[in-house]
């Protein structure tokens, strides 16, 4: 059994962190490239790609992110003034990611395209049933958005509270400000802004104009790329890609 100070365990943690980061990087980029490949393929939000030929990619990435987070152990220590440490926060974020995948958002028939044989075409009322898990038409959408909010909030907590606990320290024990710490704080701020941006969409009377600009897609993409950057940074992706130690000079 590996001990906490075993360097092999360190590389395992790095690989898990990088796996989460790479999946977060791949998802919005892949969906956006798909959206550019044909008229009508771009969706107003990342979640609504569930109703396109990329639905399996969306669900697969979110499930994989959820499993990675559920398997992430992190550090035993937790901040003195906060109730949650790495393990509890990663479990919450992992379950929320699975919820995002299993409780799809409602679809707009004007945008949703379904598979017909080997081609895609407007669903014309034949949308995939988003209630396969719950069986309840009125609860699947709210569950999806609640899970997405919890997911982003947990990742922001990682960036603003947990990740900065590591790295260089000052003589008084506090984090020494570095580019790494600034990266975490910036990513956390972007994640909080993404949550607020999504809430603004719910209350502002400009939904049609915002959907035409794919507003929610870009808000979600900003949040996903922010958490991806934070986890890749925490995973030391440039020096130890996928947990392999690159030999120095």
User: Residue 157, by phi and psi: left (phi above 0), alpha (psi -120 to 50) or beta?
Assistant: alpha
Q: What is the pLDDT of residues 46-102, one digit of tens each?
A: 988 887 888 889 999 999 999 999 988 777 777 778 888 889 999 999 999 999 988
Q: How far apart are CA 155 and CA 149, in angstroms?
A: 10
Counting the structural domains of the chain, the total is 1
Kindly state whether residue 249 falls inside one of the protein's structural domains: no
Q: How far apart are CA 202 and CA 51, in angstroms?
A: 21
Residue 50's domain spans which residues? 7-239
4 confidence band (pLDDT: 50, 70, 90): very low
User: Which has more pLDDT, 204 or 195?
Assistant: 195
The residues that bridge with 120 in the sheet, in sequence order, are 115
Kindly state whether residue 144 falls inside one of the protein's structural domains: yes
| Residue from 165, 174, 155 nearest 230 by CA | 155
Kindly state whether residue 44 falls inside one of the protein's structural domains: yes
224 confidence band (pLDDT: 50, 70, 90): very high
User: Which has more pLDDT, 146 or 248?
Assistant: 146
pLDDT of residue 86: 87
- Mean pLDDT, the chain, as a whole number? 78
| Residue from 33, 45, 199 nearest 111 by CA | 45
Contact 144, 86 (CB under 8 A): no
Kindly state whether residue 187 falls inside one of the protein's structural domains: yes
- Supply 26's token pair: 């791949």
Kindly state whether residue 247 falls inside one of the protein's structural domains: no
Kindly state whether residue 245 falls inside one of the protein's structural domains: no
pLDDT of residue 111: 53
Using the CB atoms, write b or e for 58-97: b if 16+ within 10 Å. bbebbbbbbebbeebebeeebeeeeebbbeebbbbbbbbb
Residue 188: how many CA atoms within 13 Å on its side-chain side? Answer: 16
**What angle, 0 to 180 degrees and rounded to 10, lies between the N-to-C axes of helices 140-157 and 215-234?**
40
Kindly state whether residue 74 falls inside one of the protein's structural domains: yes
Kindly state whether residue 2 falls inside one of the protein's structural domains: no
pLDDT of residue 249: 44
């Amino acid at each position: 059994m590996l001990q906490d100070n075993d360097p092999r365990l360190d590389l395992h943690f790095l690989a898990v962190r990088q796996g989460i980061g790479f999946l977060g990087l791949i998802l919005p980029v892949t969906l956006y490239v798909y959206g550019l490949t044909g008229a009508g393929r771009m969706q107003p939000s990342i979640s609504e790609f569930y109703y396109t030929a990329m639905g399996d990619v969306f669900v697969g990435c979110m499930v994989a992110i959820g499993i990675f987070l559920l398997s992430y152990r992190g550090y035993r220590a937790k901040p003195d003034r906060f109730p949650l440490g790495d393990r509890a926060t990663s479990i919450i974020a992992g379950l929320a990611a699975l919820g995002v995948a299993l409780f799809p958002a409602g679809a707009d028939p004007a945008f949703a395209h379904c598979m017909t044989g080997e081609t895609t075409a407007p669903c014309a009322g034949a949308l995939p049933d988003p209630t396969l898990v719950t069986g309840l038409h009125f609860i699947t959408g709210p569950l999806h958005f609640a899970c997405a909010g919890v997911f982003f909030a947990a990742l922001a907590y990682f960036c603003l509270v947990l990740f900065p606990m590591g790295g260089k320290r000052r003589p008084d024990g506090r984090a020494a400000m570095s580019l790494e710490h600034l990266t975490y704080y910036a990513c956390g701020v972007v994640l909080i802004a993404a949550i607020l941006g999504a809430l603004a969409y719910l209350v502002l009377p400009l939904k049609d104009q915002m959907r035409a600009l794919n507003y929610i897609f870009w808000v979600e993409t900003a949040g996903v790329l922010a958490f991806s950057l934070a986890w890749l940074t925490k995973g030391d992706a440039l020096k130890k890609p996928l947990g392999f130690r690159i030999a120095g000079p």
